[in-house]
Structures are given as C-alpha cells and as structure tokens.
C-alpha cells in the first residue's frame, strides 16, 4: 500500500460505550489529473433505542455486515459531505428500511458523477429528533466548495469529522511523492489539518467557519474520529485548536 491503512480491516473497533469505528481499505480519488490514495474509516453509534447510526459507510463485506447485524438494526446512513456517499446505495440495498441522510450538495454531486443514490432526508444545522439527545451536529459553513456536517457523540465526548481534518502518517507512507504532497497540503501527522485546497475556499468567509469552530470547541471533545489517517483518541480539544489555527491567520 502507498499510504498506511489501519488493519484489521472491515471489523468493529470499540471507541467507547456504544460507539465503534471500522477501518476500510485504500481508495483512489480523482483530483485533477491525479488519482490520490486515501485510507477510509466509518463510525457507528448505537442509539438508546438500540438502532445503529452509520457515518460515512465504507465498502463492506459480508463478514462486516453480519458483525454489524449483531449490534442492532441499521436505521441511519449518513453522508457527512458531498464526497462521502459512494457506498450508501449499497448499504441501502442491504438495509432497505434505513433512512439515507444527504449532506449539502451531495445529490447534485452524485448526479454529475452519474452515480445512482437515493436519499430519504437531509441533514440540517441541528440534529433531528432521532438522535438529538445523544448526538449534536452542525454544518461547518464558510467554504465555497463544500460544507461538511460534523457530529458530537455526547456520552463519549467524541467529535466525528470527515475531511475537515486529515492526518496522514508520513513515517508509514512508503511513497516519497505522497509524503511531500501530504506535507505541502498540511495534512501530515502530527500536524494534520484541513487540506490546503479546502482551506483556500474559505477566503473572505472565515467568520462563518469560526462560529462553527467555536461551537465544536464548546463541546470539549476528548476524542476526534477522522475519515483519513490517524485519529485522536485523547487530547481532542487541544488537537482541535492546533488543527484549526489556520482560521485565525
């Protein structure tokens, strides 16, 4: 693998009570002329009604589906931003009664890429009644290119992000080209941040982003789960302050 993946793959890994991550394999995303490799990770929360809330579903195999089925019924499939949706239709076929939740711009993006996906409801700036007592949420505004919905699992003090922080481990990246790209993009561990191309889309609009950042900081996260790279199992608030210092420049 060009970049590190986090084995074992396609199996539940407990973060805290009623919250798990699942690490997936490497994908390649088209960015201009390049095929950029990314590791993948999803988050699963078991709600008080024993139903499962699945954030950014990854490509699954039968063994993973069976493991998830033993946790409880899948009820919510979450697209947190417009580039994290590719496997929701696959999961929807497996769990036809689940509600597929769209993020800002994702339906337009899917149509442009000619990917068939059906959403049942859309995510707003506040959590719906299904999970509002257990998971807080907000739309991180200010970008001209992409808005991400961020979540906070209250009981475990866990912030759940997707692409607002990426944190690739250079020491485990075999290809020197990608080590340089990660460093230049500001997404190399231990100083992973919002990728530079996404940061640039906030120019002149940081006031909105700062309001969202302050709300996340007020949650006082202890852990921060990321979709790409090493996530933070401690010192969440400090990592948040470090990663978003670009907002104050």
- Are 165 and 193 a contacting pair, CB within 8 Å? yes
What pLDDT digit, counting tens, does each position of 174-226 carry? 889 889 999 999 999 999 999 999 999 999 999 999 999 999 999 999 999 99
**Is 120 part of a structural domain of the chain?**
yes
Q: Which residues contact 145 (CB under 8 A, 6 or more apart)?
A: 198, 201
CATH code (residue 203): 3.60.15.10
Distance, CA of 225 to CA of 21 (rounded, Å): 8
Distance of CA 227 to the CA centre of its chain: 4
Q: Which residues contact 134 (CB under 8 A, 6 or more apart)?
A: 45, 47, 48, 153, 154, 155
78: nearest Cα among 43, 113, 48: 43
Give the pTM.
Answer: 0.97
Q: What pLDDT sits at residue 137?
A: 98
The pLDDT mean for the chain works out to 95
**Is 5 part of a structural domain of the chain?**
no
**Is 112 part of a structural domain of the chain?**
yes
Task: Using alpha carbons, list the distances in angstroms from residue 231 to 93, 210, 226, 242.
Answer: 30, 22, 5, 14
**Is 185 part of a structural domain of the chain?**
yes
**Is 6 part of a structural domain of the chain?**
no
- Are 42 and 55 a contacting pair, CB within 8 Å? yes
- Are 187 and 164 a contacting pair, CB within 8 Å? no
Report the 10 Å Cβ neighbour count for 208. Answer: 15
What range does the domain containing 94 cover? 12-248
**85-105 average pLDDT score:** 97
191: nearest Cα among 242, 241, 236, 248: 242
**Is 3 part of a structural domain of the chain?**
no
For residue 71, pLDDT beyond 90 = yes
**Is 18 part of a structural domain of the chain?**
yes
> Domain count of the chain?
1
**Is 49 part of a structural domain of the chain?**
yes
Distance, CA of 151 to CA of 174 (rounded, Å): 32
For residue 36, pLDDT beyond 90 = no
Task: State which H helix or E strand residue 214 sits in.
Answer: helix 206-218
């Amino acid at each position: 693998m060009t970049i590190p993946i986090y084995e074992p793959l396609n199996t539940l890994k407990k973060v805290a009570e009623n919250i798990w991550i699942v690490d997936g394999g490497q994908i390649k995303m088209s960015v201009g002329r390049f095929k950029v490799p990314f590791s993948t990770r999803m988050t699963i929360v078991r709600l008080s009604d024993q139903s499962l809330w699945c954030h950014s579903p990854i490509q699954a195999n039968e063994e993973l589906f069976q493991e998830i089925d033993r946790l409880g019924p899948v009820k919510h499939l979450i697209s947190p931003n417009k580039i994290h949706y590719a496997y929701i239709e696959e999961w929807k076929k497996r769990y036809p009664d689940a509600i597929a939740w769209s993020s800002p711009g994702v339906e337009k993006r899917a149509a442009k890429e000619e990917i068939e996906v059906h959403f049942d409801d859309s995510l707003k700036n506040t959590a719906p009644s299904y999970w509002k007592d257990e998971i807080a949420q907000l739309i991180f505004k200010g970008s001209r290119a992409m808005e991400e919905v961020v979540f906070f699992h209250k009981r475990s003090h866990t912030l759940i992000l997707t692409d607002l922080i990426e944190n690739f481990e250079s020491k485990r990246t075999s290809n020197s080209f990608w080590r340089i790209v990660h460093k230049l993009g500001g997404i190399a561990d231990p100083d992973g941040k919002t990728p530079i191309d996404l940061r640039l889309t906030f120019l002149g609009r940081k006031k909105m982003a700062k309001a969202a950042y302050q709300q996340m900081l007020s949650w006082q996260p202890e852990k921060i789960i990321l979709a790409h790279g090493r996530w933070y199992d401690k010192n969440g608030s400090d990592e948040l302050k470090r990663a978003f210092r670009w907002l104050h420049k």
